[in-house]
Chain A
Amino acid sequence: MAWEFNGKSPIFKQINDIIISKIIKGDYKSGEKLASVRDLAVEAGVNPNTMQRALSEIEGTGLLTTLRGDGRYITEDKELIGKFRQRFIEESTAEFLGKMRALDFSKDEIISIISKINM
């Protein structure tokens, strides 16, 4: 199956994260039409009800908008996408820093480690 899910949280939440990250990364482009619930469900290998629920939740954030009778579109509000991007960066960094602090690394040590890693 195409999309990977873990056992811990509800699948619709994991779908949320995956779709939002696709929007942030630009895999799904601003203003573009999103595939139908059924096609997305088949692609992800999940129940259409679950996909429907996930999409409804994302609509709540404003990242997706529904045009009646014409499916869902990715928002054209680039600023909003930017905000989600920023939030993603902050959350990922905080998660990384949390792990490093648990190993008692100071900020300077962490920075020197990062600068030594080839990216």
Chain B
Amino acid sequence: MDKILECRGLNKAYNGFPALNNINLSVAKGRIVGLLGPNGSGKTTLIKILTGLLTPNTGEILIDGKQIGPETKSIVSYLPDHNFLAPWRTVDGMVKYFADFYTDFDMSRADTMLDNLGIDRKAKIKTLSKGTQEKVALILIMSRRAKLYLLDEPIAGVDPATRDYILRTILSNYDSDSTIIISTHLISDVEQVLSDVVMINTGNLVVADTVDNLREKTGKSVDEYFREVFRC
């Protein structure tokens, strides 16, 4: 199996309002994929379907060759676009909770990242700033040795220096056969980290290509190309 993800004819509507239309997508192992699209284009819907939080109306999804279920959930590490941390816990408490819950949790990874970012492990989550909470969330998600990471807007709330650290962390921590899908608006920040780009707009797949191909074909950076395609 060289494919980690395979979607065929995926459709999803909310009360008749179409959110995803006939999405066909396959992602090879070891790639870092940027899931790009304007607000309301269906990025989060697609990610939630891959996690099993939403079910599609029609279509088939295979993750590592398997239908969505307990097995796929155990190999997918998902960073939601909202805060999921328990506000009353300490950072350490949150780390222990994750380590208990996920067998693939790598404590040494979490230790390194918490130390490098200078996060106070004794602090309660609710006393941390929004940006620091986002860092903790991302550390928890990236400390798992998962096969597929789904990161929904992972760097939106952090400062540029931390953004760089996080991107470097992603590059140095991911195993060469694990795959990362990052949904983001901050294209120019993540562009050079990506191997592939998937662009969706109003629920339709617009582009699915490698970053190098796209740059070669268009003579533009992904960021410039995005601005052109989605000009308001």
Chain A positions within 8 Å of B, measured between CB atoms, are: 1, 5-12, 38, 41-42, 44-50, 53
Contacts and interface: CB of A to CB of B under 8 A. Distances in A.
B168 A49 contact: no
Interface string B190-229: 0011110000000000000001110110011101100000
B164 interface: yes
A1 B176 contact: no
Contact of A10 (B31, B167, B216): B216
A85 B176 CA distance: 35
Contact of A42 (B172, B195, B211): B172
B223 A45 contact: no
B38 interface: no
A45 B167 contact: yes
Interface of B: 30-32, 164, 167-168, 171-172, 176, 192-195, 211-213, 215-216, 219-221, 223-224
A49 B31 contact: yes
B192 A7 contact: no
A50 B167 contact: no
B221 A47 contact: no
A45 B30 contact: no
Given A8-B220, A38-B172, A46 B212 contact: no
A48 B171 contact: yes
A41 B171 contact: yes
Contacts of A12: 212
Contact of A8 (B168, B171, B221): B221
B194 A48 contact: no
B164 A10 contact: no
B223 A11 contact: no
27 contacts: A1-B168, A7-B215, A7-B220, A7-B221, A7-B224, A8-B219, A9-B215, A10-B212, A10-B213, A10-B215, A11-B192, A11-B211, A38-B171, A42-B171, A44-B192, A45-B164, A45-B168, A46-B171, A46-B192, A47-B32, A47-B193, A47-B211, A48-B171, A49-B32, A49-B195, A50-B192, A53-B212
Contacts of B168: 1, 42, 45
B224 A1 contact: no
Contacts of B176: 38, 48
Nearest to B173: A42
Nearest to B188: A7
A9 B212 CA distance: 8
Contacts of B224: 7
B195 A50 contact: yes
A8 B224 CA distance: 10
A47 B171 contact: yes
Contacts of A41: 171
A38 B221 CA distance: 23
A50 B211 contact: yes
A49 B83 CA distance: 32
Nearest to A4: B192
A49 B30 CA distance: 8
A62 to B, nearest CB: 23
Nearest to A11: B192
B192 A5 contact: yes
